[in-house]
Chains A and B, each alone.
Chain A
Amino acid sequence: MKQKIAICQLFPKLGDLDHNLSRHAELIKKHADCDLVCFPELSATGYFVKDLAYDLALSRGEFAAELNARSGYMQGRPSIIAGFSERSNGHIYNSLFVGSADRTFSHKKIYPPTYGLFDEYRYFSCGEQIDAFTLKSGVNIGVLNCEDAWHQALPYIYSMYGIDLLVICAASPARGVSGNAEGSPWNVKLWQRLISSYAHLYGLYIVYVNRAGVEDGINFSGCSCVVNPLGDITDMLAQFDEDELVVELDIKKARIEKAQNSYLKEDDPFLTIRELERAMRHRRESSK
């Protein structure tokens, strides 16, 4: 089973929803022959939104309607993954929209970071659930929103859903420029190490879609990439600049890899749950 995937490493205009949605629509139309078109985190709003998180928030239904009005994606072949500020149950979330024909889903970022240059949790609430989603093509995917990917339990839980493809959308600022950086920001290398390990451990494809451009003085790394189920980075997009790439992934390979993957086969999630609870009890007791 082949999946044609367009990776759109966008440079959104900060706070200009209309402009950004039109860019999404252009790219969706351009990649009408793909199965999936992926955009970065908060691709519809820009990243450092601050109070704009509230001003630009839409419900999942409203976002789908806005996107469909411009792109007609519901009648087309590709499913869409895009980042937006979501209003849901009176809260605002940093969400990933997943739209496939008339079915929609959103992943609400579980870990909006608030350290260093990040201040997301001030503006966004935390998502509390992860769910796999089946594309029109029948492929099972998981989506994670940037910082989520640094919490290893989340890809692990997705692996229990038996996903074939994990899409990680990101807005990762470039940092770390020491003399041994070899031309790439240090955190680009950290991302690559992280997702290569996940792909290999869980026998799945990973599409990492980072954003590009400069916002409030901060450069985003770009360097979106595709990792195969052996953990090899097979494709890489431009560093820093906007870029696009269409890749064809052989999902069968992921399934074969998964079937042969002894780490997964022998993994006992019930033991994990049991022992994790025991460890947490121990931690609580010993901190008394």
Chain B
Amino acid sequence: MLDIDCKLVTELLTRFIKNEVQKTGMNKVVLGLSGGIDSALVAFLCKEALGADNVCGVRMPYKSSSAESLSHAELVAQKSGIRFLTYDITAAADGFASQQLLLNTDCDKFLRVNSSEKIVGFKMGDTLNGHSLGNILARLRMNTLYHISALGGSMVVGTSNKTELLLGYGTLWGDLAYGINPVGDLYKYQVRQLSRYHGVPDEIILKKPSADLFPGQTDEGDLGYSYEELDYALYRLVDARENPKILAESGEIKPELIDFCLKRIIAMQFKRQMPHIALVSFRTINQSFNYPRDWAM
């Protein structure tokens, strides 16, 4: 059901990359290499579309990043032959965390800080948890990629797959910020299938996907379901447009999984769209002023 014709999909995706990059006048791309399968596949696809010399993978470790992620990112660069950079974001992230947030007026309620004493300030780092740290790291990586993009005139390529996009498993303006995304219409299962076709090393294909914020973290642990289960449920709900109620009654998919997917899809819609602009005129951007992105390109 989820199997794809890898040769055909490769043709579509490499043409997509080549055309959408070169139309803008650029011929190079830059992407973050996490050591995971999605960015590995995108590196291989970009290499095929533009040539290895025109693709730059950037490894952006934080102090808690696992040694395995770092060596896998390097392995992708080696196997694909693309350009390779490392920029350690630890100092930037820790600098952000160590800075005092001074409360010039009473902001306790605004910041939802519960304290019996009047708070006048705290270090950003005092309030960080795994989730918010993940968002900060993702946005620092976005900053890094866009800076490299501006330096050499290369386009930032995204690596979020369809499973992640539908479930909103990504950081707004972080890893969800990019010029183009060649793999956003492929479920994780399809990413794996296409990765095997492109010769992404087995150790990367077979390991448990992880955001790598702390030891032992996995996507599937975060989401509460395996990718296999999620892909299948999402395919039936989104691609096949099956009625969720009937699907739940059929017993083919656990009702709580269907419920989880639907709730996430709806709650995370905002991550897949440009923000609203208040409409007051007869020509409002993206409402009644509608032009293609590839305008005159």
Please give the residue numbers on chain A whose beta carbons come within 8 Å of chain B beta carbons, in ascending order.
Answer: 13-16, 46, 48-52, 174, 177-185, 213-217, 219, 239-240
Contacts and interface: CB of A to CB of B under 8 A. Distances in A.
Nearest to B22: A214
B54 to A, nearest CB: 17
Contacts of B291: 15, 50-52
A177 B297 contact: no
A181 B294 contact: no
A183 B292 contact: no
Interface in B1-31: 3-5, 7-9, 11-12, 15-16, 19-20
A15 B292 contact: yes
A15 B290 CA distance: 13
Contact of A15 (B7, B12, B296): B296
Interface residues of B, number: 22
B133 interface: no
A43 B133 CA distance: 50
Contacts of B11: 239-240
Contacts, number: 70
A184 B8 contact: yes
A49 B12 contact: no
Contacts of B20: 214, 217
Given A214-B19, A217-B180, A177 B292 contact: no
A215 B296 contact: no
A216 B7 contact: no
A140 B294 CA distance: 38
Contacts of B16: 214, 217, 219
B5 A14 contact: no
A14 B8 contact: no
29 contacts: A13-B296, A14-B294, A14-B295, A15-B295, A16-B296, A46-B292, A48-B294, A50-B291, A51-B289, A52-B291, A174-B12, A177-B4, A177-B8, A177-B12, A179-B4, A181-B8, A182-B5, A184-B8, A185-B12, A214-B16, A215-B292, A215-B294, A216-B294, A217-B16, A217-B293, A219-B16, A239-B11, A240-B11, A240-B15
Given A51-B291, A214-B19, A183 B7 contact: yes
A179 B3 contact: yes
Contacts of A217: 16, 20, 180, 293
Nearest to A49: B292
A138 to B, nearest CB: 41
Interface of B: 3-5, 7-9, 11-12, 15-16, 19-20, 180, 289-297
A177 B9 contact: yes
B4 A52 contact: no
- The CB with the most chain B CB atoms within 10 A, among A14, A16, A49, is that of A14
Main SS of chain B's interface residues?
A: mixed
A178 B3 contact: yes
A219 B296 CA distance: 17
B17 to A, nearest CB: 9
Nearest to A240: B15
A178 B5 contact: yes
Nearest to B12: A219
A221 B286 CA distance: 28
Contacts of A184: 8
Given A213-B19, A214-B20, A178 B290 contact: no
B235 to A, nearest CB: 11
A181 to B, nearest CB: 4
Nearest first, the 9 A-B pairs at minimum CB distance are: A179-B3, A214-B19, A181-B5, A50-B290, A15-B296, A48-B292, A216-B292, A14-B294, A16-B296
Nearest to B181: A217
Nearest to A55: B291
B295 to A, nearest CB: 5
A240 B180 CA distance: 19
B251 to A, nearest CB: 25
A52 B180 CA distance: 23
A217 B293 CA distance: 9
B295 A52 contact: yes
A216 B180 CA distance: 10
B16 to A, nearest CB: 6
Contacts of A239: 11
A162 B116 CA distance: 89
Contacts of A182: 5
A237 to B, nearest CB: 15
A180 B12 CA distance: 16
B159 to A, nearest CB: 16
Contact of B8 (A51, A52, A183): A183
A38 B9 CA distance: 29
Given A177-B8, A217-B180, A14 B292 contact: yes
Nearest to A52: B291
A32 to B, nearest CB: 30
A177 B5 contact: yes
Contacts of B19: 213-214
Contacts of A48: 292, 294
